[in-house]
Amino acid sequence: MLKKSISGLLCAATALVLPFATVTARAETGLPESTFSPSYILGDIDGDVTVTAADARLCLRASAKLQTLTQEQQQAADVFSDGEITAANARKILRVSAKLERFEVLLKVGQAYVLPPLRSAGSGMYQWNYSVSPSIGIGVKEETVFPWEDTDLIGAPSETTYTFLAQNPGTYTVTLQLKASWETAPINEISFIIKVMDVVIKQSSQISVINS
């Protein structure tokens, strides 16, 4: 029965080749209102920093009470921000994995959305890069650290945290790609939409950003 359900989801995703749609992830956490800093990537239930059909399968199993998710996995699976995990969530995750949809983050002017740290494979190898379209209206802060002991080693891996600050109302597409400088195709990609509402939040002077 589960295999048939997953097969049905795959067929639905390939049959409905529509323009990019959006899924809402409301910026509601226990953090100060100006910052939305989840420890997960929406839809990435298995925690491999990529949204795939495997995540949709986990979500589908959880909706059928065949899989128990951790709290963080439940948050990643809650793509409608309604506290429910159903087959509809699995379908959305599957469509995002097939690049038929993007998740959506809603922010007010002055709010910041912080992605969890993304690991790169070291200097001169695979690195994360970002783009924002349109380029004006979202400020970006990029912080890279070397959390391992051999930080003086050439090519040591690093982790980069990206903060996206809502500066002007509008709809923005954010794309992050992991690829080597000599390659054109990325080995991993994260893409989502930030929708900024015309409500101003007083911004802390501690957040310094640059426009992409």
Orientation angle between helical segments 53-63 and 2-15, nearest 10 degrees: 130
pLDDT tens digit string along 174-188? Answer: 999 999 888 889 999
Domain contains 133:
yes
Give the model's confidence band at 169: pLDDT under 50 very low, under 70 low, under 90 confident, else very high.
very high
Q: List, in sequence order, the alpha helices (H) in the chain.
A: 2-15, 53-63, 71-77, 87-97
The model carries a pTM of 0.72
Domain contains 209:
no
Domain contains 101:
yes
Confidence (pLDDT) at 149: 55
Nearest to 114 by CA among 28, 38, 195, 20: 38
Residue that the structure tokens 């323009």 belong to: 19
Domain contains 210:
no
Q: Which domain holds residue 155?
A: 2-13+20-199
Residues 26, 84: Cα–Cα separation, whole Å: 14
- pLDDT-wise least confident of 4-18, 47-61, 109-123, 167-181: 4-18
- pLDDT-wise least confident of 30-44, 48-62, 160-174: 30-44
Confidence (pLDDT) at 27: 43
Domain contains 26:
yes
Domain contains 125:
yes
Q: What percent of the chain has pLDDT over 90?
A: 48
pLDDT tens digit string along 45-63? Answer: 999 999 999 999 999 999 9
Domain contains 114:
yes
Helices vs strands, H then E, count in the chain: 4, 11
What Cα–Cα distance (Å) separates residue 28 from each residue in 32, 112, 163, 171, 209?
10, 12, 16, 19, 22
What Cα–Cα distance (Å) separates residue 140 from each residue in 10, 45, 113, 157, 162?
35, 26, 10, 22, 7
Domain contains 207:
no
CATH classification at residue 194: 2.60.40.2020
Q: Please give the tally of structural domains in the chain.
A: 1
